[in-house]
Structure 1
Amino acid sequence: MTTTRPRRTQTTQTTQTTQTFTSHDGTELAYRTVGDGPPLLCLPGGPGRAAEYLGDLGGLAAHRTLVLPDTRGTGASAASADPAGYRVDRLVADVEALRRHLGLDRVDLLGHSAGGSLALLHAAAHPDRLSSLTLVTPSFAAVGLPSDTGAEEVIAARAGEPWHAGAVAAYRRVKAARSFAEAAPHRPAFEPLMYGRWDGTARAHAAADPRQRSLTVSEHYYADYTPDTADLRRRLAALPCPVLLLAGELDLWPTAVSAAGAAALFPDAVLTVQPGAGHYPWLDDPQAFTAAVAGFLSSAAGRADGR
């Protein structure tokens, strides 16, 4: 596999404003806004990682006002009275509560990683509330599709990296772990496989993970969740809004192969595979990432205006 090594550029420095809202069950949840332009609601992944790690999404905040909620139990959001409230399908109600709080009849929704699973469930439950759906290196666990098809080939293609042997050994341990807590000690050695380039920016981003993550939320996010795959796929096949599915060429969860397979879920989907990118494509090449997402959102807005 031939990969490009794009130069990282400095992203826009913008002021973030933190606000709170009360969700459906009385839990006080926090969100930050950053940037300028129409709102883009961005669901973080992890699962259980506070939205801080999204930053300004590689400068996307220059085009959109990013709304960055902390999932309940993470960051500045209050914990759930019942840990079962952290389950991905139950978090759909928090997304809806935030949409209503923002006063938006319809919303442009972006989900990253495990937040992609949540975005998919929200889209299936509330298709009439979306103007567009952007899935950035998303998990497909919510709809029962594999995310790691072809992962071994991606790993083998990076064999020349100096960290490769240690990262692969840690990857095997993470995959074999029975819980997020069991996997946690192996994540630091595994992290190089999650980035297109293991440089200072990537190291700092990965090092922040433990303080941003709630293992309690991680453990409960998919616990006892069994998707009704037939119903979900039927609903997504009728989704009336356009979908961008953005994968990283070097990502393991999901691989570009898995993302291509998942694109068939939607009647109107654009699949973009960002060259040389891992699980956090806005870090690997901010300009390419921003151009892809901003271009898609602009096109979606133009189509909506023409209805």
Structure 2
Amino acid sequence: MESFTSWDGTELAYRVVGSGPPLVCIPGGPGQAVEYLGELGGLTRSRTLILLDNRGTGASGVPADPATYRVDRLVDDVEALRQHLGLDRMDLFGHSASGGICLLYAARHPGRLNHLVLVAPSLRVVGLPSDLEVDRVLAARAHEPWHATAVTALHAEATTPEEQQRYRWEAAPLLYGRWSPAAQAQAAAEPAQFAPAATDGFYAGFAPDPALPARLAEFTAPTLLLAGEHDIWPTAAAVRQLATLFGSHELVVQPDSGHFPWVDDPAAFAASVEAFLAR
């Protein structure tokens, strides 16, 4: 791991893997260490991935001010990383909750981006619902042997940390296109990757800026929005709604995939992202 000092003195860690032009990658969760991104389905063959551990997660330091865990404050860490890397402009990748960080970065620093890649992005920062047509998505998988248990766990309210972990595991198949060994391995590793303070602080006190959609409409850098066909948060329908806010964008719905499309079909995922970044 390499490190740098961010704007407030917090030491942040990042990992560099692969070869080719750099792609700065911000993990989601929220509050999850970047290791879950792995090598993004083999993107390391054509890209140098700069994999950041957000503050308070993974190998990065804990900030003195817990308020800096908030999604809009993390934008400053992305900008500090860009400056540290010496990049005048960069290609930026966000997944899930970090999609919100990247959307806010695009609005605040539009001239610093060549390409923006958003995979299963959270829509909370733009005030859009993430669960459009979720009942249809869930019903389409009713034939799966784990379906009834997973849906029950998805809607269950845990009363203890142990119950929360059990429900999370039982609902996990809903986040993947196939409950394969690779999916099970990733889901099993997740609990140890989360930092509760970073998770809890991500949206603490945050309210969407009503002006953000208008700023995104003016954003001109090419943007890839990639959704999984079976994802339940955000659904593909919700990502299509996000797409209407952008002028220059490409929308890809990856078949037979969920919230982690590089796990479900690494080759298809890498091909989509590589083709987009090459244009």
Q: Distance in 2 between matches of 1:215 and 1:140?
A: 21
Matched, 1:214 2:186: no
- Quick one: which of 176, 181, 193 aligns to 1:200? 181
The percent identity for this pair of structures is 58
The reply to whether residue 259 of structure 1 matches residue 242 of structure 2 is no
Deviation at 1:81, TM superposition (A): 1.1
- 1:93-112 aligned at under 5 Å gives the runs 93-112=76-95
**Is 1:150 the equivalent of 2:133?**
yes
Post-superposition Cα deviations, 1:67-93, rounded to whole Å, max 9, x if no partner, equal 000010000000111211100000000
Aligned residues: 279
Query: 1:123 maps to what in 2?
Result: 106
Matching of residues 1-307 of structure 1 within 5 Å: 18-173=1-156, 183-229=164-210, 231-299=211-279
Task: Judge conservation of contact 1:181–1:215 (CA < 8 Å) in 2.
Answer: no
In 1, the alpha carbon distance for the partners of 2:84 and 2:190 equals 29
Q: Point out the more displaced range, 27-36 or 183-192.
A: 183-192
Equivalent-residue separation in structure 2 for 1:32 and 1:82 (angstroms):
24
Cα distance, 1:183 vs. partner?
A: 4.7
Contact 2:216 2:246 (C-alpha < 8 Å) held by counterparts: yes
Q: In the TM superposition, what is the alpha-carbon distance from 1:177 to its structure 2 partner?
A: 6.9
The amino acid of 1:90's aligned partner reads R
Is the 1:28–1:78 contact (alpha carbons within 8 Å) kept by the matching residues of 2? Answer: yes
Q: Structure 1 residues 177 and 226, CA, compared in 2 at 3 Å: closer, same or farther?
A: farther
Measured in 2, the distance between the counterparts of 1:66 and 1:181 equals 35
Distance 1:273 1:146, change over 3 A: same
Partner SS state of residue 293, structure 1: helix
Tell me the alpha carbon deviations over residues 33-84 of structure 1, each in whole angstroms, 9 at most, x when there is no partner: 1100000001111001100000000001111000000010000000111211
1:78 partner SS: coil
Counterpart of 1:7? none
Q: Is the 8 A contact 2:91 2:115 kept in 1?
A: yes
In the alignment, structure 2 segments of 5+ residues that lack a partner are none
Q: Secondary structure at the match of 1:90?
A: helix
Normalising by structure 2, what TM-score? 0.97
Superposed CA offset, 1:112-167 (max 9, x none): 00011110011111001100100001111111111110111111111111111111
Root mean square deviation, CA, Å:
1.6
Partners of 2:236 and 2:183 in 1: CA distance: 21
Taking the aligned partners of 1:100 and 1:281, their CA distance within structure 2 comes to: 30
